[in-house]
Amino acid sequence: MNWLRRLYDWVLSWASSPYAVPVLFTVSFVESSFFPIPADPLLIALILGLRKRAFYYAFICTAGSVFGGIFGYFVGSFLWWTETMEFSSIATFFFTYVPGFTEQLFYNIQAQYESYNFVVIFTAAFTPIPYKVFTILGGALKLPLKWLIWASIVGRGIRFLSLGVLIFLFGEEIQIFVEEQFKNLSIAFGLGVVTIGIVAWLTMKFGLVNRLSRRE
């Protein structure tokens, strides 16, 4: 996973650039369709540099992610299947080169979509589950676009605004934890690295891990 670490560092390097905000939007956009690194590391760095703009940066992330989700939807809707309803070369590319995006996962999520629809999209938007799989599959299965848009706005909004609040309150401690634990955090789905790290960090912050270890 050295290449993933290098990609993570490259994304983070834009924090001190005058183009940081456009890059934040762009990373949020492409992460919703194919890019393996989430926008969270860059969002954290920007908020640490200017905390009073935390919610502005969170809004940029949300907007980029929602528009990226719509792009993913259209990829699934128009480019995912051949005329004989077999996987297209675009689908094969995703299965081969996008981390965590497997054919088996595709079919598993398809089964969830058939039962839960909106709830599935919202869950993917809010959690470390690979959002790109859900946006593309939504288009491939011809689900109503409005479901994707509303679930993305709410789910992604909650995720990035919550992250903004956490960074605003706790600052550099979260960033240090993410840096130290990056290679140990779950990146199996290519997403959610920072979200998972923050949950673990907050658990340790409030002493839950220590209390459990003492009981043992």
Query: Which is it for the CA torsion 154, 155, 158, 161, positive or negative?
Result: negative
Helices (H), the chain: 2-13, 20-31, 40-49, 54-79, 89-97, 103-116, 118-126, 131-140, 145-170, 172-181, 193-205, 208-215
24, 13 in Cβ contact below 8 A?
Answer: no
pTM: predicted TM-score of the whole model, two decimal places: 0.72
Give the list of residues 6+ apart from residue 55 with CB closer than 8 angstroms, or none. Answer: 161, 164
Q: Is the pLDDT of residue 9 over 80?
A: no
Chain mean pLDDT for the chain: 75
Q: Say how many CA atoms lie within 13 Å of 203 toward its Cβ.
A: 11
Residue of higher predicted confidence among 130 and 152: 152
Find tokens 């809707």 and name the residue: 77
Helix (H, G, I), strand (E, B) or coil at 166: helix
Give the pLDDT confidence of 115-140 residue by residue, as tens digits: 766 677 767 666 666 778 788 888 88
pLDDT of amino acid 127 = 63
Q: By C-alpha distance, which of 151, 148, 153 is closest to 72?
A: 148
Query: CA–CA separation, 210 vs 101, rounded Å?
Result: 36
Digit-coded pLDDT (tens) for 60-80 = 999 999 999 999 999 988 989
Number of Cβ atoms within 10 Å of the Cβ of 37: 24
Give the model's pLDDT for residue 186: 34
Query: What pLDDT, on the 0 to 100 scale, is given for residue 206?
Result: 52
Give CA–CA dist 185/86, Å, rounded: 35
